[in-house]
Chains A and B, each alone.
Chain A
Amino acid sequence: MRMPPQPLTLDGLTHGYGAGLAVDNVTLEVRGGELVALLGPSGCGKTTLLRIIGGFVTQISGSVIIGDRRVDSYPPNQREVGVVFQNYALFPHMTVAENIAYGLAARGVSKALQRERVAEMLATVQMTAFAERKPRQLSGGQQQRVALARALAVRPRILLLDEPFAALDKNLRLDLQIEIKRLQRQFGLTAILVTHDQDEAMSIADKIAVMNKGRIEQLGSPIDIYDDPSTLFVNSFIGSSNLLAGTIERLEAGTFGVRLDNGAFWPVASNRSFARGDAVFASVRPEQLTLATAEAPGRFPVNHALSLPIGGMLLHDVRETNGAKLKVAEPRVPGTSLSMGGAAWCGLAANARPSLFPRP
């Protein structure tokens, strides 16, 4: 019997000592079966938040609700929360099979049932051949699979993943990300992933909560977060972007006419409100800019310094006339060689959607 996916609610969680709060009034609703990534720089409070959910840290105010239970007074061993730690935390003196059976044994499950479940979990993570090995005889990726199997063997209500891929090399990381996503779907688990790696969050999370200074700055799907960052912090943390200073010159329905400091005029759609004369930043992703040889409305003059071929893209490093650096990414036309250097005109690519932020 499998439990239906359990929703998770964080209600006004606060934690911290002294002046700075590690977690500052965080409220988050995670639907059953969803994988939410807590993404942010180190020290943003994401790990503390995870530890509060796991019961290892007690918040000074607010609540954690798993399913229909308020678990604030529950110690970690009664929360039914599976945790995969960054260093895997496998028990070094036990075999792989004993590690996986541990949670079941702690709950007093019969030996026969333990054996059955261990075999099932070993098969699920494709580690059957390694059942009798000790953790130190396994590679990082294999240890990770065992840690996952051990956490899932007890059928937790929630799965917490604390930077689970940080110690793995890049190729293996992708394999395991797919693996974790698959298992999380298969088990219908609500999961929280803590990471500082935006690519990781983008690739496996259903939703991303971008955290900064103990608060959630934005919660949304990876695409929303990338295309429509709600704050300057989220904008600069996710992907790379160019910030162009400008002033609101014209107001139309839902569209702002922005006069950039470099002289170009861009009409930009935004659901934020600005008044005429407001100082703003227009943020554009490198792939939303394009280089041209001729002047046209919306284009501004740049000096083309350097082009780097990055896979199928060309990344141009260009300078505005005042010296400010911009990054422009364009699809590379196969077979063409690089044309380097010289003056050019930079403008918005077709379908580009710059974001506007108030400029302090």
Chain B
Amino acid sequence: MFQRTTPSDISYAVVLRLLAGLGVLILVGPVLIVLITSFTTSAALKFPPPDLSVRWYVELFDRTRSAHIHTAAGNTLWVASVATGLGTLMAVMAALSIARVNRPAARALEASFLSPLILPTLAYGLASLMLFALLGFRPSLYHLVLGHLVVISPFVFRTTLASLTQLDPSLLESSASLGASRFYTFRRITLPIIAPGVAAGAFLAFIASIDNVPVSLFLSNARTSMLPIRMWGMMESTLDVRVAAISGVLIAVILILMIVMDRLVGLTRRMGV
């Protein structure tokens, strides 16, 4: 169809593109700068780098010289995996028990399960430290798991609840009328249908645990150091370029995970729910 392009159309398009460009610049720009800086030859965290090399990646993967970073990365991965595993289990069970229940108590529980998403995590980190100290526990990775569990399980809870709400109840009735027990229905109908939602939530939870600072800040110590805290420490003391290299590795790993998850469960579709 023939359409005349008016000056206002043009200005609209220009403004829209400028804003979009600005958004992309703000979001992607820092990532690119960190990535480029991580390939510097210089010993200073400076942009632009004088020349490019993989020097700092070699340094980062060196077993002896980067041992403390490897320990912190190992701790972080372990805590994230265990917290995500436990958190997913708990959140799925919680979602299953309150989805489709219309009583006010169920809505109150839903709000309280989701509350860690809104409450200031820093305050929670401090509170959990005080609680553990009060109970006389010495800091350990288990406490970190507990701390992370509270903060990250709402991600799984939310996506699982959304999947359950979208699950057509007549599928469950249909399954029952065909002679299936409740457990059989859960295993063959409910679980396969909500699985992508659960997986998407678990992925978000895992990422949230990996780069959690507020809780780790309070609950970790030298023995149980966590990667983000360690990185901050390195920045403060030596402006170590390995921090940029760690960021590069994290960005690459998460990007790959995201692509895999998106292929498997349509992650970007489910993150909005």
Contact = CB atoms under 8 A, between A and B. Distances in A.
A89 B179 contact: no
A345 interface: no
A93 B193 CA distance: 7
A38 B51 CA distance: 82
Contacts of A106: 175, 178-181, 184, 188
Given A89-B168, A106-B181, A75 B173 contact: no
Interface string A50-81: 00001110000000000000000001111111
Interface in A124-159: 150-151, 154, 156
B270 to A, nearest CB: 16
Interface in B164-194: 168, 170-171, 173-181, 184, 188-189, 192-193
Nearest to B178: A103
A78 B174 CA distance: 13
Given A91-B189, A102-B188, A77 B181 contact: yes
A107 B175 CA distance: 11
A82 interface: yes
Interface in A69-123: 75-83, 85, 87, 89, 91-93, 102-103, 105-107
Interface in B33-58: none
A81 B174 CA distance: 10
A81 B176 CA distance: 10
Contacts of B171: 89, 91
Interface string B115-140: 00000000000000000000000000
A17 to B, nearest CB: 13
B179 A154 contact: yes
Contacts of B175: 91, 102, 106
B178 to A, nearest CB: 3
Contacts of A92: 193
B177 A82 contact: yes
B173 A54 contact: yes
Given A91-B189, A92-B193, A106-B184, A85 B173 contact: yes
Contacts of B174: 83, 85, 89, 91
Nearest to A76: B176
A89 B170 contact: yes
A103 B180 contact: yes
A276 B103 CA distance: 59
A90 B224 CA distance: 51
Given A106-B180, A154-B179, A76 B173 contact: yes
Nearest to B180: A106
B169 to A, nearest CB: 9
B33 to A, nearest CB: 44
A77 B189 contact: no
A79 to B, nearest CB: 7
Contact residues of B: prevailing secondary structure:
helix
B193 A77 contact: no
Given A91-B189, A93-B193, A77 B180 contact: yes
A102 B176 CA distance: 11
A102 B180 CA distance: 8
A102 B187 CA distance: 12
Given A93-B192, A106-B181, A77 B170 contact: no
Interface in B84-114: none
A53 to B, nearest CB: 10
A239 to B, nearest CB: 32
A80 B193 contact: no
Interface in B187-213: 188-189, 192-193
Contacts of A102: 175, 178, 180, 188
B179 A54 contact: no
Nearest to A81: B177
A87 B178 contact: no
Contacts of B177: 54-55, 76-77, 79, 81-83, 151, 156, 160
A154 B193 CA distance: 23
A71 to B, nearest CB: 12
A83 B181 contact: no
Given A92-B193, A93-B192, A106-B184, A85 B170 contact: yes
B152 to A, nearest CB: 27
Contacts of A56: 173, 176
Interface string A189-214: 00000000000000000000000000
Given A91-B189, A92-B193, A93-B193, A103 B179 contact: yes
B264 to A, nearest CB: 14
Contacts of B179: 77-78, 80, 103, 106-107, 154
A105 B188 CA distance: 10
Contact of A89 (B173, B181, B184, B188): B173
A9 B176 CA distance: 22
Contacts of A77: 176-181
Interface in A230-252: none
Contacts of B180: 77, 102-103, 106
Nearest to B171: A89
Nearest to A162: B170
Interface string B24-37: 00000000000000
B184 to A, nearest CB: 5
13 contacts: A54-B177, A77-B180, A78-B179, A80-B179, A83-B174, A85-B173, A89-B171, A91-B175, A93-B193, A106-B179, A106-B180, A150-B178, A151-B178
Given A56-B176, A89-B170, 13 more contacts: A55-B177, A56-B173, A76-B176, A81-B177, A83-B174, A89-B174, A91-B171, A91-B175, A93-B192, A93-B193, A102-B175, A102-B180, A106-B178
